[in-house]
């Protein structure tokens, strides 16, 4: 791969990481991105000479056996991907058990996949199954308004989902399943990866309390769009509160009608929990 012949997935990660930086979500080495490569690209990259030995994932993701991923590098800045993709991202291949990976391209200058690699892979494994192979892109990032909500109050998943649906009604259409709120856990640990992936059986976005957000979508545009929409709602909620408080907002019934207008349905478990409290 040379400077003048960047494949589509490299151009996509350049665009998405740049957009994330412009939004103010990617301070220093904050955030990470992974993309499960599509068949047409696998053909090309599987011919690459391996650049490392097999490395243990310290866990297994059998649902991703023999898959290939584009993954941002640990310690690298997402805002620098556009300048030097070959230093700041890499391509890895998983073995036929989903227990080890090796590097095929990138991480020049001595990086390796993100510290959140296992959280990304476990999320991919769950979402690949739940979406019947449709979802390919996982983004973790540090969105200031969503993070601020987790400092404001100890919200439940149902409460934070309602806040987001209600303060930018587009959210009821974009993520009717709601957003899971994961109580604080150590970043980079197996536990946070497992809990995130478990929540992803139902949700496509998981907020990490006092830290950030994880999202899965069909492609980088969709994962970015999910986060963008949720973050905008959190911003509107905060702005309305700065103006003196929220004195007018749609109730669940109206939000359900908006979702239904687009052939969607709000998560019935969350709706039940919210109705039981009112
Ligand atoms: O350093 O965002 O969660 C990258 C991260 C870890
Ligand atoms: Zn983070």
Could you give the CA distance from residue 117 to residue 73 in angstroms, rounded to a whole number?
9
- What pLDDT band is residue 1 in, cutting at 50, 70 and 90? low
pLDDT digit string, tens, across residues 223-273: 999 999 999 999 999 999 999 999 999 999 999 999 999 999 999 999 999
Percent of the chain with pLDDT over 70: 99
Mutate to test the pocket of ligand 1, among 116, 143, 146 (most ligand atoms within 8 A of CB): 116
Could you give the CA distance from residue 35 to residue 117 in angstroms, rounded to a whole number?
11
Active centre residues (catalytic) = 116
Calculate mean pLDDT across residues 186-191: 96
Q: If we measure between CA atoms, which residue out of 177, 216, 180 comes closest to residue 195? A: 180
Nearest atom in ligand 1 to 28's CA: 1
- What pLDDT band is residue 278 in, cutting at 50, 70 and 90? confident
Would you list the domain boundaries of the chain?
Answer: 1-115, 117-278
Same fold, 1-115 and 117-278: yes
Could you give the CA distance from residue 80 to residue 28 in angstroms, rounded to a whole number?
10
Nearest atom in ligand 1 to 141's CA: 2
Note the pTM of the prediction, 2 decimals.
0.97
Mutate to test the pocket of ligand 1, among 20, 31, 215, 227 (most ligand atoms within 8 A of CB): 31
Could you give the CA distance from residue 228 to residue 124 in angstroms, rounded to a whole number?
20
The angle, 0 to 180 degrees and rounded to 10, between the axes of the packed helices 190-199 and 117-130 is 20
DSSP state of 128: H
Q: Which fold has domain 117-278?
A: L-fuculose-1-phosphate Aldolase (3.40.225)
Within 6 Å (CB) of ligand 1, which residues are found?
A: 29-32, 115-116, 140, 187
126 CA → ligand 1 middle, Å: 21
Helix (H) or strand (E) holding 36: strand 32-36
Domain 1-115 class in CATH = alpha beta
pLDDT digit string, tens, across residues 28-75: 999 999 999 999 999 999 999 999 999 999 899 999 999 999 999 999
């Amino acid at each position: 791969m040379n400077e003048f012949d960047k494949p589509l997935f490299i151009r996509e990660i350049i665009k998405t990481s740049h957009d994330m930086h412009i939004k103010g979500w990617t301070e220093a080495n904050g955030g990470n991105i992974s993309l499960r490569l599509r068949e047409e690209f696998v053909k090309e990259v599987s011919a690459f000479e391996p650049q490392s030995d097999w490395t243990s994932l310290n866990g297994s993701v059998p649902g991703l056996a023999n898959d290939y991923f584009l993954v941002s590098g640990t310690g690298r800045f997402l805002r620098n991907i556009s300048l030097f993709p070959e230093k700041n991202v890499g391509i890895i291949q998983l073995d036929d058990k989903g227990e080890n990976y090796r590097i095929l391209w990138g991480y020049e200058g001595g990086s390796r996949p993100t510290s959140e690699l296992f959280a990304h892979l476990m999320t991919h494994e769950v979402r690949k199954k739940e979406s019947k192979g449709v979802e390919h892109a996982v983004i973790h990032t540090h969105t200031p308004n969503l993070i601020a909500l987790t400092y404001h109050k100890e919200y439940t998943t149902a409460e934070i989902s309602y806040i987001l649906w209600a303060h930018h009604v587009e959210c009821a259409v974009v993520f009717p399943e709601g957003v899971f709120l994961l109580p604080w856990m150590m970043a980079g640990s197996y536990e946070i990866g497992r809990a995130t992936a478990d929540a992803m059986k139902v949700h496509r976005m998981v907020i990490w309390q006092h830290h950030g957000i994880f999202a899965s979508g069909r492609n980088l545009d969709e994962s970015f769009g999910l986060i963008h929409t949720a973050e905008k709602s959190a911003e509107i909620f905060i702005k309305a509160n700065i103006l003196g408080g929220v004195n007018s907002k749609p109730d669940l019934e109206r939000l359900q009608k908006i979702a239904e207008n687009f052939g969607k349905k709000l998560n019935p478990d969350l709706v039940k929990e919210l109705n039981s409290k009112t």
